[in-house]
Amino acid sequence: MKFMEPLQEKAHSMWLGTIEMLPLFFIAAIVLFLTWCVSAVLTHLLRQSFKRSNIRPSLRDLFITLTKVTLWTIGVLLAVTVIFPSLTPAKLLTVLGLGSVAVGLAFKDIFENFFAGILIMLRKPMRINDYIECEGISGRVEKITVRETYLREVDDQLIVVPNSFLFKNPVYILTDLAIRRFDLVVGVAYGEDVNKAREVIIGALENIEEIDQDRGIEVYAREFNASSLDFTVRWWAKSDPLSMHVSRDRVVTAIKYGLDNAGIEIPFPYRTLTFKEPLSLTSREEDSKTE
């Protein structure tokens, strides 16, 4: 069976080549093992050092991940060059550079969110447990990763938002400070005294515990509305959503009781109807007599 001889020779040469490369595989395995050891030790040291700093947990995880990726990339490149001596690091980097262009085009959105996440962690003042609003989306920041941000709405629904969305659009950080200002519009009847109404509103809010009295209470005449003279009422309270609802409830209730006790009318909307011709009015008694 002479036709089998080339196959046998090829198999024999491949076997010999494999035997010859076993030491190289062993050295490459040692390189990967050393890479794992260095990565584990350096990661442990980074975690210990970060515990003594005020760095954000998400930024800490990012640094650790980037360190691992860098070490393993170097270790894998060294192992490959050990097994295949003809492949120099320069050639490998060239191949990786050409491949990265194709990968970058294919995964454009993923890389965009990745770099946006890094910039958010480095630059944005957004923190874990902050309440934010962005283009109709609002919630408490629960977690920030390198690709997306997890927002927990006040009704406990979870929203996963791409980091590029938060980076490109204006973000309102509602709890950046512990105290912020709230506004409310209050209308009184046109026949009421403006200064008296203002004094009553201010007096009604002076004893509310939820209001930061040191920041003051502001009441301004706002505009002439259809049925009322409107005031803008401003006060300072805690910035989280629950405290906002509580303070607004106390303010509305106190203003209502205060104006009622002072005899100041909070008007309903009025409608004035006009007719081109006079209307004749008849009583029910006249209608019954006619029948």
Q: CB of 247 within 8 A of CB of 208?
A: yes
- If one counts every other C-beta atom within 10 angstroms of the C-beta of residue 251, the result is 23
> Counting runs of H as helices and runs of E as strands, what totals does the chain give?
8, 8
pLDDT tens digit string along 170-217? 999 999 899 999 999 999 999 999 999 999 999 999 989 999 999 999
Query: What does the angle CA 271 – CA 277 – CA 282 come to, to the nearest 5 degrees?
Result: 80
- Whether pLDDT at 251 is above 70: yes
- Whether pLDDT at 3 is above 60: no
Picking from 234, 225, 220, the residue whose alpha carbon sits closest to that of residue 268 is: 225
Q: CB of 221 within 8 A of CB of 229?
A: yes
- Whether pLDDT at 33 is above 70: yes
> Which whole number is the average pLDDT over 260-280?
82
Provide the pLDDT for residue 106.
53
Q: CB of 69 within 8 A of CB of 131?
A: no
At 48, which amino acid appears?
Answer: Q
User: 3-state DSSP helix/strand/coil percent for the chain, to nearest 5?
Assistant: 55, 20, 25
pLDDT tens digit string along 81-100? 777 766 666 666 665 555 55
Provide the pLDDT for residue 55.
66
Structure-token pair, residue 276: 């081109």
Band of residue 259 on the pLDDT scale cut at 50, 70, 90: very high
Provide the pLDDT for residue 279.
73
- Whether pLDDT at 270 is above 60: yes
Give 183's strand partners: 234
- Whether pLDDT at 257 is above 70: yes
The listed range with the strongest mean pLDDT (53-57, 127-131, 248-252) is 248-252
Taking all residues of the chain, what is their mean pLDDT, rounded to a whole number?
A: 81
- Of residues 78 and 195, the one with the higher pLDDT is 195
